Amino acid sequence: MFLVFTSACFLIPSYRGWKRKKKILALANATTSLVSMNHWRKPQDGFRKNLDYMVAKSNFVLHHFFIDPRFFPLDGIIGLFWFMSKKGGKNWEKWHGLFHASVVSGMYLAS
């Protein structure tokens, strides 16, 4: 349930982007949020997981067309948290939550 909540947080930069007339980013962030929440409500291998992965990676690339290069160091933090969550172990969910939080920060800066 924790990762459903952190995925819902992607709606915060979506709202900000919509208000600032960055509709492509706003729609991409909202889509990412909904797809991610759908996956994490009952995570398992299959279509929902694959769709979540595909949408998340596409959103990452899209944001790099809009983001100010001075925010690129945030990519290192995002990458570290993603890597630590992929390593597994007892704290993988906390690392993935931190990954989501850092992604929200990046989305917010781009919006």
3-state SS, one letter per residue, for 15-82? HHHHHCCCHHHHHHHHHHHHHHHHHHHCCCCCHHHHHHHHHHHHHHHHHHHHCCHHHCHHHHHHHHHH
With a cut of 90, say whether residue 71 has pLDDT above it.
Answer: no
Q: Specify whether the backbone of 46 is left (phi greater than 0), alpha (psi in -120 to 50) or beta.
A: left
Quickly count: other Cβ atoms within 10 Å of residue 50's Cβ: 11
The model's pLDDT over 80-95, given as tens digits with 9 standing for 90+, comes to 999 999 999 999 999 9
pLDDT above 90 covers a percentage of the chain that reads: 84
With a cut of 90, say whether residue 29 has pLDDT above it.
Answer: yes
The pTM for the full model equals 0.90
With a cut of 90, say whether residue 105 has pLDDT above it.
Answer: yes
